[in-house]
Amino acid sequence: MIKKKLAIVTTHPIQYQSPLFKKISYLNEFQVDVYFASKHGYRSKYIDKDFKRKFNWNIDLLAGYNYFFSRKSDQNINSFFLSFKDLSNVLFKKKYDAILLFGWNNILYIKTFFFAKIYKIPIILRVETNFAEKLNFLKKIIKFILLNFFFKYIDYFLYIGSLNKKFYLDLGVSKKKLYSAPYSVDNNFFLNKEKNNIAINKKFKKKIILFVGKFIERKNVQEFLNLAALFKNDNRFNFLMVGDGHQVSLCNQFIENNKLSNITIAGFKNQQELRAIYKKSFLLIVPSLYETWGLIINEAMASGLPVICTRNCSSSRDLIINGKTGYVYNLGNIKYVKKIIVKLSESKKKYLEIVKNINRHIINFSFSCTIKSLNKILYEKI
């Protein structure tokens, strides 16, 4: 059987995407070429606008698959004018069976869309977007009209979760065009290989309550600080904040003003360091005002770490079975969060039960599901 040829077009090497590309290529089920417009994250030139620093991921983002960078690869990934030089010629010459697109919000994706239509190459779209984000009425109507028109010209869609699927259906996409591709991280990378009883004994000794993310308004760092303040006089728990951003000074000021000795700001940590932090932490708190998904929850659960997150995290609909694989709370209700933290700290049996449930549940959120859907599209539909 002749292998189908798949072109993947995305902005830059991303720590969440690269393991998927590697897995697809490793299985050798179709020929894959990945096209990056920028080297950001691999050899970054620009400062990350939210982390407020320039950095490169400390895992190999390019091993195990064919990739190509644009001749002008020092572009800013946040620019609408991000593009890939000569992509039209490449797509024409290589005669791909399909193109997998990871967005629509810049010149790179728009040009790829038009080239695909000109050369009659089927388009597969995979994005995070849903309608859970709070937009004003006018913006929501404009978005609905534009995307409704755009989606008529997309051949297949990979949906990452229940809200993403609903988003497509609400915009009139036929169920026949929708294929499951649960949002995933490299579960094996984060897997905690210690025996459960040993790992949990360590967690119960330190009881680290963890926040991981950018210190920006949307991540709602203030709520985590308020939670730490509730435990000010309880020395059983240590609160750890991992990340960076423009609200670091706000955090430091709050800690100083409230004389909190139970909280530490560790700064930005790369993937390998973060894996070690998950391993020793007791709980991850995700207080975000809004997340289109929240892959930080995948990372934690792959590490066997229970999560308490707001209902505003879209992944909570799929990853969190309340009281079984974690807990979901209403934004601002930190007294409830405190109650859950104390409850789990006083019942090793319940904590271990949740960890076992997590280990069983997170298997459903792996790259194999996405690859299975791509196989169906490429070999059964195209």
Print pLDDT tens along the chain (382 aa).
688 999 999 999 999 999 999 999 998 889 999 999 999 888 877 667 666 667 677 789 999 999 999 988 788 898 999 999 889 999 999 999 999 999 999 999 999 999 999 999 999 999 999 987 776 777 778 788 888 889 999 999 999 999 999 999 999 999 999 999 999 999 999 988 776 666 777 888 889 999 999 999 999 999 999 999 999 999 999 999 999 999 999 999 999 999 999 999 999 999 999 999 999 999 999 999 999 999 999 999 999 999 999 999 999 999 999 999 999 999 999 999 999 999 999 999 999 999 999 999 999 999 999 999 999 999 999 8
Q: So what's the pLDDT on residue 89?
A: 92
Q: What's phi and psi for 265, nearest 5 deg?
A: -100, 110
pLDDT the model gives residue 267: 94
Asked if 61 and 41 count as a contact pair (C-beta separation under 8 A), the reply is yes
- Whole-angstrom CA distances from 94 to 67, 114, 156, 335, 377 are 14, 16, 21, 58, 19
> Tell me, what DSSP letter sits at residue 322?
B
To 10 degrees, the CA torsion angle through 237, 210, 23, 96?
Answer: 170
Domains 5-184+366-381 and 187-364 share a fold: yes
- pLDDT score at 233: 93
Domain spans, the chain: 5-184+366-381, 187-364
Q: Quick one: pLDDT at residue 157?
A: 98
The two beta strands, 178-180 and 156-159, are parallel
Residue 329: CA count within 13 A, CB half-sphere: 21
Domain 187-364 in CATH: superfamily? Glycogen Phosphorylase B; (3.40.50.2000)
The H or E element containing residue 84 is none
Cα 254 from Cα 249, distance rounded (Å): 9
Is the distance from CB of 241 to CB of 264 less than 8 angstroms? yes
Give me the residue label for tokens 């597969």. 124
Q: What angle do CA 123, 129, 134 make, to 5 degrees?
A: 155
DSSP sequence for 127-169:
----S-S---HHHHHHHHHHHHHHHTT--EEEE-SHHHHHHHH
* CA 185/CA 305 separation, integer angstroms: 14
Backbone φ and ψ for 212, nearest 5 degrees, come out as -130, 125
Q: How many helices (H) and strands (E) does the chain have?
A: 15, 13
Query: What does the buried/exposed string (b/e) look like for 144-182 if buried means 16 or more CB atoms within 10 Å of the residue's CB?
Result: eeebeeebeebbbbbbbbebbbebbeebebeeebbbebb
Which CATH code is given to the segment(s) 5-184+366-381?
3.40.50.2000
pLDDT at residue number 71: 86
Cite the DSSP H helix spans in the chain.
18-27, 87-94, 107-118, 137-151, 162-170, 187-190, 196-206, 221-230, 248-257, 271-280, 295-302, 316-319, 334-345, 348-361, 367-376
| CB-based contact 209:340 (threshold 8 Å) | no
Neighbours of 114 (CB within 10 A): 12
Structural tokens at position 202: 């360590």
Cβ atoms of 307 and 287 within 8 Å: the answer is no
Sign of the dihedral defined by the CA atoms of residues 86, 13, 114, 105, in that order: negative
pTM of the model as a whole: 0.92
